[in-house]
Amino acid sequence: MLFKSLNGISKKVNFETAVKKGLADDGGLYFPEHIRPLKKDFIENLENYSNIDIALTVLEQFIGDSINKIDLRKILSNTIDFDFPLVDLGKNIYSLELFHGPTLAFKDVGARFMANCLAYFNKNSSKLNTVLVATSGDTGAAVANGFYKVKGTNVIILYPKNKVSEIQERQLTTNGNNITALRVKGSFDDCQKIVKNAFLDKELNEKFNLTSANSINIARWLPQSLYYFYAVKNLKKDNLVFSIPSGNFGNICAGLIAMKLGLPIKHFVASTNLNDTIPRYFESQVLSPKPTIQTISNAMDVSIPSNFIRIQEMFENFQDLSSVMSSYSFNDKQTLEAVKKIYNNNKYILDPHGAVGYLGLKKHLESCSAQKTGVFLETAHPIKFANDIEKSIKVKIKFPERINGILSKKKKYYNIVSYNNFKTKIMSMDFY
């Protein structure tokens, strides 16, 4: 299978090339040329397969000859060695916990998969690679962890100053080794713009052999479709509604891929915070981004969702799209009220992103006449947002052992104020 560029100019490439390039030369995102539905028998018997076997079956058509089966199995075993539990919150509502990876973020799966793929593709190359990644909080940590000490690869992370939580900043800035953190004056969208400019900058590309690790990279993006398979495997139900707390819309887009592959999913809800470009699009059919607004669900503080173009690619027209997808936005006050309510009713602690997902799910289920089962994605561990959450529920969140010690590590970053400043800084770095 080949990947086409959504700008339609660059030629089609295989998985390996698409992963190494990140973005096509014409600036377009890569998208699978076609999606072949999986066998009914497989979908109906998911519980008979291990998570690794499911991953192999789901991903093999996209990977094609780029990685042989034996090595792909190894890569997947390195990627998926933690659980994706479903927590029953009653009233046909489930939380799908995606934060059991090493950095407590759902992005661990995509980041680890991508790191393993790149290490595999570059194992015989003497050329140094540079992974350039903009983060609104969680991506950077997952990417840093996935690529930590990967031979031949340096990672440069750009994150917005004062817009990530304390734990997130520590996760970004305390790695050392092949990981460099750049603190950008501005929003996540400003970080993303620098990354996009860098990819179009020939001089930088030549020197650094740049690759992206945002969900624009297919190796980061596609494995996210596995969460939906694991949820269906554990729930064993049809007629499911999934609500996805969305920022760059990579996760929900991977869910739509899972549906196209044959999973029995009825509806998707894209739940956002006040950065509501897509909820407004569903009302007006016009994409009109506003400046980014800072919220407590900061990983979703995105006003220009990169992956929405992939979603549009999957549907003939707006009617088709809106028959399987809705989108709602919620403010911080509603988010914290949901955190409080779920804690009081269930003794279950949501993080702000999961809470937005819960709110979107509830709103959709209330608008349905038929009884449906709803799953919202709990995309981060609440400890990352302890300040806001503890204030709201008046209970101390237990510190997960996996990140013990992080608060005493020393932060190291460089300050960046513009693209030119960024370019000068990295051109002068001596790790190359």
Ligand X SMILES: *Cc1c(COP(=O)(O)O)cnc(C)c1O
Longest dimension (CA), the chain: 62
Instruction: Tokens for 378, please give them.
Output: 């709990």
Determine the Cα–Cα distance for residues 97 and 108; give it in Å rounded to an integer. Answer: 13
User: Strand 179-184 and strand 153-160: pairing?
Assistant: parallel
Do the beta carbons of residue 75 and residue 120 sit within 8 Å? yes
* Least distance between ligand X and beta carbon 18 (Å): 18
Among 51, 130, 174, 248, binds ligand X (CB under 6 A): 248
* Closest to 79 (Cα-Cα) out of 117, 46, 32: 117
Pairing of strands 373-378, 240-245: parallel
Q: How far is CA 216 from CA 144, 174, 220, 270, 376, in A?
A: 17, 25, 8, 18, 23
- 430 vs 178: CA distance, rounded Å: 12
Nearer to ligand X, 129 or 305 (CB): 305
- Kindly identify the residues of this chain, within the stretch 194-233, that bind ligand X according to CB under 6 A: 215
CB atoms closer than 10 angstroms to residue 431: 10
Question: Would you give the DSSP letter of residue 343?
Answer: H
Closest distance between ligand X and the C-beta of residue 38, in Å? 23
> Active site includes 107?
yes
The correct pick among 247, 279, 374, 382 for binding ligand X (CB under 6 A) is 247
Is residue 243 within the footprint of ligand X (CB under 6 A)?
Answer: no
d(CA 173, CA 425): 17
When asked if residue 96 is in the footprint of ligand X (CB under 6 A), the reply is: no
* In the block, residue with structure tokens 């096509």: 24
- Near ligand X by CB under 6 A: residue from 46, 222, 325, 380: 380
Asked if 255 is part of the footprint of ligand X (rule: CB under 6 A), the reply reads no
The distance of closest approach from Cβ of residue 45 to ligand X in the complex, given in angstroms and rounded to an integer, is 29
Q: Is 246 in the site for ligand X (CB under 6 A)?
A: yes
C-beta of 16 vs 138, nearer to ligand X: 138
Contact call for residue 275 and ligand X (CB under 6 A): no
Question: Which of these ranges, 193-201, 239-247, 276-284, 363-371, lies near ligand X under the rule CB under 6 A?
Answer: 239-247
- Comparing CB distances to ligand X, the nearer of 122 and 251 is 251
Question: 66 or 277, CB closer to ligand X?
Answer: 277
Q: Is position 251 an interface residue for ligand X (rule: CB under 6 A)?
A: yes
109 binds ligand X (CB under 6 A): no
Closest approach of Cβ 138 to ligand X, in Å? 3
Nearer to ligand X, 66 or 392 (CB): 392
Closest CB to ligand X among 10 and 357? 357
Catalytic one of 107, 163, 362, 384 = 107
Question: Beta-strand (E) ranges in 139-296?
Answer: 153-160, 179-184, 210-212, 240-245, 265-272
Quick note: the x/- pattern for ligand X over 136-175, rule CB under 6 A, is --xx------------------------------------
Q: Which residues of 198-225 are buried (b: 16+ CB within 10 A; e: fewer)?
A: bbeeeebeeebbbbbbbbbbbbbbbbbb
Candidates 64-72, 180-188, 244-252, 314-322 — which segment interacts with ligand X by CB under 6 A?
Answer: 244-252
Region near ligand X per CB under 6 A, out of 45-53, 231-239, 246-254, 326-334: 246-254
Measured from the CB of residue 302, what is the shortest distance to ligand X in angstroms? 7
Nearer to ligand X, 6 or 128 (CB): 6
Assess 107 for contact with ligand X (CB under 6 A): yes
The DSSP symbol for 381 reads -
Determine how β-strand 93-97 pairs with β-strand 86-88. antiparallel
Nearest CA among 5, 42, 430, 43 for reference residue 218: 5
Least distance (Å) from ligand X to the CB of residue 256? Answer: 12
Binding footprint of ligand X, residue count (CB under 6 A): 17
Amino acid at 99: F
Quick check: 328 binds ligand X (CB under 6 A)? no
Q: Which of 113, 188, 242, 249 binds ligand X (CB under 6 A)?
A: 249
User: At 308, which helix (H) or strand (E)?
Assistant: helix 308-313
Contact 212, 195 (CB under 8 A): yes
Shortest distance in whole angstroms from residue 382 CB to ligand X = 10
**DSSP calls for 65-126:** GGS-HHHHHHHHHHH--S---EEE-STTEEEEE---STTSBTHHHHHHHHHHHHHHHTTT--
For ligand X, the binding residues (CB under 6 A) are 105, 107, 138-139, 215, 245-251, 299-300, 353, 379-380
The catalytic residue positions are 107
